[in-house]
Structure 1
Amino acid sequence: MIRESAEYDVLVVGGTGVDTVVRVDSLPVPLADSVQVGPIEEWPGHTGANVALGARALGLEVGLIDCIGDDWTGSRVRELLARGDVDFAPLTSPAGTRRAVNLVDAHGRRMSFYDARDPADLRMPRDFYLPRLRRARHVHLSIMNFARFLFDDIETLGVPVSTDLHDWDGLADHHREFALRSDLVFLSAAGAGDNTPALMREILREGRADTVVATAGAEGSYLLTRDGSPTPYHIPATAPHAPVVDANGAGDAYVSGFLYGRLTGRDVRECGRFGALAGAHACTAPVATDPITRKSLLAADQIA
């Protein structure tokens, strides 16, 4: 049940599930009938949950709506979000809760096998999501297929919206509507490679975005704005304060830090710096299980 008196700083739509994490010596894994690994772990989260938990740890009021299963994995997601004080309102999906298997090497790099089990005709009822959209300052859409059907109402209400395209190569049709109908677009340079700056310019030219952000892991991130230079501005990566354990969720943490900056009136470069600090912090714990707090973020920003 939602808190009737609350106003969400951020309403996250979609993107919850459970990761099975397998730690390996190196990637790619050599072909073999059997490979000895360390303890295999189950972690609830996924991109939407990570963004929501990260934003909540930074002091923002956060709601999350999604379609998950009435199953054991779904109960793990519910417990995680309750502990993180995120106002989670799930609908029951007959397909069950999403899963992923992530191979993580000794340097924290990962390879993810994502179980996209949602049926193509899965939808959120309008009378379920519309009251929540009306109470949100900002909406962050995960790239679940059902989430695209909220765009018309989001635009009618005039609520700013962001999305994370992850490793979009600029070609896959699934991502394009999210790219062109969002005000703030995140993507990973891993998908487009050397074509990333051109893809960022294309999103600004053809869509409604005022800002496009490309994250590039240890190389930092790049910002491009509608009213700025045609060359992306580079935000250096931040050195983690402790050894790197796992890069899972670092991009989601970056999004949380950036959104915190944007919603508290910082300029775009400071937002990028907040994102870099939050992303580096996330790498020091398994599967982004220790999101940076507002106090720690602001303290780290003074040192950086």
Structure 2
Amino acid sequence: MAPQHTEYDVVVVGGSGVDTVVRVGSLPVPLADSVPVGPIEEWPGHTGGNVALGTRALGLRTALLDFIGDDWTGSRVRERMAEGDVEFAPVTSPAGTRRAVNLVDAAGRRMSFYDARDPAGLRMPRDHYLPWLGSARHVHLSIMDFARFLYDDIEDLGVPVSTDLHDWDGRADHHREFALRSDLVFLSAAGVGGDVHALMREILEKGRAETVVATAGAEGSSLLTREDGGSPVHVPAAVPPAPVVDSNGAGDAFVSGFLYGRLAGRDPVECARLGALAGAHACTAPGSTSLISREALLEPDRG
């Protein structure tokens, strides 16, 4: 499948799949043979899919490249991307479409059981992804193993690239190349066993990143750029516009809002503020069903 346009604002690579959401009273779930729960729901998205849907909802021309299976879950992903007007260019994986089971408590907190299922040695054909990368203003790589092999071509093309390390502890080798070869790095403070600010500085010192953002849910985010002189800036979390239902996809929405600001020429602190607004909005509905619009993100009274 060739690109339909000569330019895309964002090309997302990897990270699509289907979440099975199970709502429980509390986390961790007590050990029992059977636990009554509310309705079990299926939501296509996952991290890359959610970023693609979120940036498209903000008016950015967006494409998603990934592997999915020729299966029921893959058809759900296709349908969701079509509904969200995201151009989807998948390659069929014999291993099937990725899945996750997410336990969500009454406060919207979650615990995810992720079935990556991509086989070792999986590679996306170069003639499939190169035309898309060549038409991108910005590339966002999910931390799928196959995605790391696109870095050389991205650098040769001179396209800015971001990634989300999620709950990286700063030690696992799988994430390191993504951390050190991206221009913009997101990570979750929850996964860092030690000093998150020290890890952010390390990414800047050892890698090519211009900006590192550590999100911490209701505690807001920390922002560090090469121009900050080693002093992180705290950006408060936004107040959700409605009761919190589900934090699934909130971090992906933050990334979408931040990328919107970056591509609009906003400064990093303003980008993080927009990310916080998008993330808070995402918590008010299940799955990726509450995507903030550009008009809502930029309301004058947001301050």
Fold in common (TM above 0.5): yes
In the TM superposition, what whole-angstrom CA distance separates every residue of 1:127-146 from its partner, at most 9, and x where no partner exists? 11011100000000000000
* Alignment correspondent of 1:257: 257
Match for 2:179: what amino acid? A
For 2:145 and 2:258, locate their aligned partners in 1 and report how far apart those are by CA, in whole Å: 24
Unaligned runs of 5+ in 1: none
Does the 8 Å contact 1:2/1:87 carry over to 2?
Answer: no
In the TM superposition, what whole-angstrom CA distance separates every residue of 1:117-160 from its partner, at most 9, and x where no partner exists? 00011100001101110000000000000000000000001000
For 2:128 and 2:163, locate their aligned partners in 1 and report how far apart those are by CA, in whole Å: 21
For 1:297 and 1:2, locate their aligned partners in 2 and report how far apart those are by CA, in whole Å: 32
Tell me by how many angstroms 1:62 deviates.
0.2
Tell me by how many angstroms 1:2 deviates.
4.3
Secondary structure at the aligned position of 2:192 is classed as helix
| TM-score, scaled relative to structure 2 | 0.98
Does the 8 Å contact 1:258/1:275 carry over to 2?
Answer: yes
What are the within-5 Å matches in structure 2 for residues 87-166 of structure 1? Answer: 87-166=87-166
Runs of 4+ in 1 over 4 A off after TM superposition: none
For 1:159 and 1:3, locate their aligned partners in 2 and report how far apart those are by CA, in whole Å: 17
Does the 8 Å contact 2:64/2:89 carry over to 1?
Answer: yes
Match for 1:227: what amino acid? E
Match for 2:131: what amino acid? P
For 1:84 and 1:2, locate their aligned partners in 2 and report how far apart those are by CA, in whole Å: 19
What are the within-5 Å matches in structure 2 for residues 94-243 of structure 1? Answer: 94-243=94-243
| TM-score, scaled relative to structure 1 | 0.98
Over 3 Å counting, the alpha-carbon distance change for 1:131 and 1:3 in structure 2 is: closer
Unaligned runs of 5+ in 2: none
Tell me by how many angstroms 1:5 deviates.
3.0
Match for 1:53: what amino acid? L
For 2:21 and 2:157, locate their aligned partners in 1 and report how far apart those are by CA, in whole Å: 40
What are the within-5 Å matches in structure 2 for residues 278-293 of structure 1? Answer: 278-293=278-293
Does the 8 Å contact 1:2/1:88 carry over to 2?
Answer: no
Match for 2:52: what amino acid? A
Q: Percent identity?
A: 77
